[in-house]
Amino acid sequence: MPYSELMVAPMRAELASIGFEELRTAEDVERFMNDGEGSALLVLNSVCGCAAGQARPGVRKALESAVKPDRLATVFAGQDLEATARARSYFSDIPPSSPSMALLKGGEVVYFVPRHRIESRSADEVAADLTAAFERYIAAATPA
């Protein structure tokens, strides 16, 4: 059962305020995912403080790096159910977890951070993980 929007709103805002497009419907997800140009980071946001409390600040720090994805989007697991299910259908070979993050390039998932690699880490460690992935998978394709 979804949480109250009053409770969730600040968690949505934490990503929206740094440039993430909120995908609230399955159609929103399809539009975003079918635009396979360039690189993209899709964050599956979550209420859970055990992990999401590190995920959102970690993402924010990672996006301060010189190399970052062209497009940013998020779905809220447990809240926007159809949007989340549709997003997960694009990487159906990966066990579902939230929060989690998918780095896409040309519409394909090239790197995935599952929940268990967030919940045991600090925001700095989450950021370092993401930054390394940006360098590895995006930097080579980014014009100087």
Partner 1 sequence: MAAVFHPGHHELHGITVVVDTAGPEIYVGRCDDMDERQVILLDVDVHKDGDGGRSKAEYVERAAQLGVWKKFDRLVVPRAQVTSVKRLGEL
Q: Is 78 in the site for partner 1 (CB under 8 A)?
A: no
> Could you say which of 39, 54, 74, 79 contacts partner 1 (CB under 8 A)?
54
Segments in 1-144 forming alpha helices (H): 5-16, 26-34, 49-62, 81-89, 116-119, 123-137
Q: Is 120 in the site for partner 1 (CB under 8 A)?
A: yes
Strand partners, 22: 74
Stretch that binds partner 1, among 2-10, 24-32, 71-79, 113-121 (CB under 8 A): 113-121
Stretch that binds partner 1, among 10-18, 23-31, 50-58, 69-77 (CB under 8 A): 50-58
Q: Which residues contact 59 (CB under 8 A, 6 or more apart)?
A: 15, 18, 41, 43, 101, 126, 127, 130
| Residue appearing with tokens 């370092």 | 128
| 50 catalytic residue (yes or no) | yes
CA gap 137, 131 in Å, rounded: 10
Q: Is 7 in the site for partner 1 (CB under 8 A)?
A: no
| 38 catalytic residue (yes or no) | no
Residues making contact with partner 1 (CB under 8 A) = 48-51, 53-54, 94-95, 97, 112, 114-122
Task: Just list the catalytic residues.
Answer: 48, 50
